[in-house]
A = this chain, B = another copy of it.
């Protein structure tokens, strides 16, 4: 299967999607902070939401609507205020946001999803949002400004779009995301939005999104904190005029590949842009006894504060890798484990190998550090991504006050 990456592509790359963004004044900086993304026709919708028991009002509303309708016309997102811990008024505000967006694009409020990110515990400035929605101009070329409008403390906006052929039709999958920057106190949230012009049967879309999330956003760790607002939503509007894709077909597999590409790309972008990060860490665990073990082991290594600090210092500290594998909860036999940093073998079948320190340090000096472990207990594999732990992380999170 050939897949083209669309340079500069994003959430409006697929057919039939429009976006618009404005600086509504929710962020104090005057930057873009409110956007709408709309499909020109009803789309099948699926979503994956935070597992945190403390959930923001827009998370509950969007999840309810997706569960009930399995379809949507678009979504409205603001940054600068998470609308979390805001009680009944927060729920009413989230609903009003969907009414405003619905009126703007000529849809029913029930067809609109909503997400918010930013400060917790402060009510939304609804007057600014009402005024902002009025100012929004929708266009098929505004995916980039929408990606900027959902940023909080991200240093870079995060977009991706790919194109594939499925059963003779050209299918585009595009998306945007923002990182789990809890830089400023009470800031939260990973948000990601994917749009496609493929026609997709609703239950397969939900299944495909869950699988994509499990291999992308659920495999990244910046600091181990799961926010109150995490949201991943996909819309599939059928503008590509393919036969609706159902589970278990070659078409389903092709679509999954494209969706995985977009979500993994966005997830890695979030890890790379972690607070204070200077390096992306990619940890692959092979030979695990089960898929769950592989995932646990990869995540334990990439989440270890000690390993993250060692990567920062370019220290080929295999002891911290082995130690994290050991406490991951996965079945691990230290006498059979292989560990590599880059292509330098540090441990093979549990034996510590002599290695050239300068070569190993060089493998950790660049902006991407690859760590591999083979547990030799089965055939399951998983990859996780994270970032190094730097003094700047502490500075950002310790020194900026409410």
Interface size class of A (residues with CB under 8 A): 35 or more
Which residues of A (270-327) have their CB < 8 Å from a CB of B?
A: 303-306, 309-310, 312-320, 322-327
Q: Name the B residues within 8 Å of A315 (CB-CB).
A: 185, 398, 400-402
Query: Which of B52, B84, B326 touches A228 (beta carbons < 8 Å)?
Result: B326
Q: Name the B residues within 8 Å of A85 (CB-CB).
A: 319, 322, 334, 350, 352
Inter-subunit contact A53/B334 (CB<8 Å)? yes
Q: Name the B residues within 8 Å of A304 (CB-CB).
A: 224-225
Which interface residue of A51, A316, A394 has the most chain B CB atoms within 10 A? A394
Inter-subunit contact B305/A225 (CB<8 Å)? yes
Nearest chain B CB to A281 CB, angstrom units: 13
Inter-subunit contact B316/A402 (CB<8 Å)? yes
CA distance A309 to B305 in the complex (A): 13
A197 part of interface (Cβ distance < 8 Å): no
Inter-subunit contact B398/A334 (CB<8 Å)? no
CA distance A55 to B325 in the complex (A): 12
Nearest chain B CB to A20 CB, angstrom units: 30
CA distance A188 to B322 in the complex (A): 12
Interface string of A222-250 (1 = CB under 8 A from B): 01111110000000000000000000000
Inter-subunit contact B319/A399 (CB<8 Å)? no
A391 part of interface (Cβ distance < 8 Å): yes
CA distance A94 to B399 in the complex (A): 46
- Known contacts A225-B305, A228-B326; A399 and B313 CB within 8 A of each other: yes
A390 part of interface (Cβ distance < 8 Å): yes
Inter-subunit contact A185/B334 (CB<8 Å)? no
CA distance A228 to B332 in the complex (A): 13
A362 part of interface (Cβ distance < 8 Å): no
- Known contacts A320-B182, A390-B394; A327 and B401 CB within 8 A of each other: no
Q: Name the B residues within 8 Å of A388 (CB-CB).
A: 398
Interface string of A379-397 (1 = CB under 8 A from B): 0000000001111011111
Which interface residue of A319, A326, A331 has the most chain B CB atoms within 10 A? A319
Inter-subunit contact B391/A323 (CB<8 Å)? no
CA distance A332 to B52 in the complex (A): 9
Residue of chain B at shortest CB distance from A223: B305
CA distance A331 to B54 in the complex (A): 10
- Known contacts A54-B322, A319-B186, A323-B52; A397 and B223 CB within 8 A of each other: no
Inter-subunit contact A52/B327 (CB<8 Å)? yes
- Known contacts A306-B182, A391-B394, A393-B309; A323 and B225 CB within 8 A of each other: yes
Which residues of A (1-53) have their CB < 8 Å from a CB of B?
A: 51-53
Query: Which of B54, B316, B396, B397 touches A325 (beta carbons < 8 Å)?
Result: B54
Query: Which of B84, B225, B313, B352 touches A320 (beta carbons < 8 Å)?
Result: B225
Inter-subunit contact A393/B394 (CB<8 Å)? yes
Nearest chain B CB to A96 CB, angstrom units: 21
Residue of chain B at shortest CB distance from A52: B326
CA distance A326 to B84 in the complex (A): 12
Inter-subunit contact A394/B399 (CB<8 Å)? no
CA distance A350 to B352 in the complex (A): 53
A357 part of interface (Cβ distance < 8 Å): yes
Inter-subunit contact A185/B317 (CB<8 Å)? yes
Interface string of A78-89 (1 = CB under 8 A from B): 000000110100
A-B contact pairs, 7 of them (CB 8 A): A53-B331, A188-B323, A309-B393, A314-B401, A315-B398, A391-B394, A394-B394
Name A residues whose Cβ lies closer than 8 Å to a Cβ of B: 51-55, 84-85, 87, 120-121, 182, 185-186, 188, 223-228, 303-306, 309-310, 312-320, 322-327, 331-335, 350-352, 357, 361, 388-391, 393-402
